[in-house]
Structure 1
Amino acid sequence: MTQSSPYKSTGGLIRIVRAFGYSLQGLGAAWRHEAAFRQEVALSAILIPLGLWLGNSTTERLLLAGMLVLVLVVELVNSAIEALADAVSADHHPLLGRAKDLGSAAVLLTLLLTGAVWMSILVPRWWPA
């Protein structure tokens, strides 16, 4: 028989309410401590409404806005990796440095994909082939 972890919740409505609260705490921490997250939120606050307006179909609107939300999600994961790495050791460690670099690379690839999606949808409208 295995014992369950005392750190795991039991479920139910209380778990959902607590999880929502933890999520809000995480967003608040990202806003307070992560300049890149604040910059991406500011850009998204401009581009998401623009994408919803420029999209010709529901699919285009979801792609244009959704890609920006994906950037924020990946930035949150990257920030979590960086915070954990910093908590583990303030000293330089090659594996911690690699973890931070990999998180940063994930953000870069997501930004490039976002740019490609926006260009693939919008460029043909102004410069038809």
Structure 2
Amino acid sequence: MGYWARRLRSFGFAVQGLRVLLTTQPHARIHALATVVVVLAGFYFQVTRLEWVALLLAMAMVWVAEALNTGIELAVDLASPEWHALAGKAKDVAAAGVLLASFAAFLIGMLIFLPKLTNTV
């Protein structure tokens, strides 16, 4: 298999991972809805280029955290199918990463959209 065929194949694996994320993880679907709402609000309020950068980085941070959390949870479940305290802690810490990313993204969204909401009301 050639170089470009391998790259295309690995891209396909990543798309499959995104499909797994969206079809098996309820929180990923909530993130998808939030992403759509933020993008629509960005267009509606005509956010600046710098605000778009902040919003895109915040959304990416949440998506990356959710994907890593899901990967860690799946790997832990494979390695420790029986309940184990350390497995639970590993999953809790991974979930905390998503919580922290989501909270930071929420604050970024509030910093950008709250002034726009108060000016239009």
Which interval holds the TM-score relative to the shorter structure? 0.7 to 0.9
Q: Which stretches of structure 1, 4 residues or more, deviate above 6 A after TM superposition?
A: none
Secondary structure of the 1:61 match is: helix
- 2:91 pairs with 91, 100, 104, which one? 100
What is the aligned partner in structure 1 of residue 29 from structure 2? 38
TM-score by length of 1: 0.80
Structural RMSD (CA) = 2.0
Q: Distance in 2 between matches of 1:75 and 1:36?
A: 8
TM-score by length of 2: 0.85
Q: Distance in 2 between matches of 1:28 and 1:122?
A: 30
Point out the structure with the larger helix share. 2
> In the alignment, residue 58 of structure 1 is paired with which amino acid?
R
- 1:74 pairs with 57, 65, 85, which one? 65
Q: Distance in 2 between matches of 1:80 and 1:65?
A: 22
> In the alignment, residue 65 of structure 2 is paired with which amino acid?
V
Structure 1 unaligned regions, length at least 5: 1-9
Q: Distance in 1 between matches of 2:58 and 2:44?
A: 15
Secondary structure of the 2:93 match is: helix
Higher RCO by CA contacts (8 Å cutoff, separation 6 or greater): 2
The yes-or-no answer on 1:16 pairing with 2:7 is yes
- 1:116 pairs with 80, 98, 107, which one? 107
Q: Distance in 2 between matches of 1:114 and 1:58?
A: 17
Larger radius of gyration: 1
Structure 2 unaligned regions, length at least 5: none
What is the aligned partner in structure 2 of residue 7 from structure 1? none
- 1:87 pairs with 51, 63, 78, which one? 78
Contact conserved, 1:55 with 1:64, CA < 8 A, in 2? no
Once the two structures are superposed, residues 83-113 of structure 1 have per-residue CA deviations (whole angstroms, 9 ceiling, x without a partner) of 1111112211122111101111000000110
Contact conserved, 1:81 with 1:103, CA < 8 A, in 2? yes
* Count of residue pairs the alignment pairs up: 118
Structure 1 residues 109 and 55: CA distance shift in structure 2, 3 A:
farther
Contact conserved, 1:37 with 1:75, CA < 8 A, in 2? yes
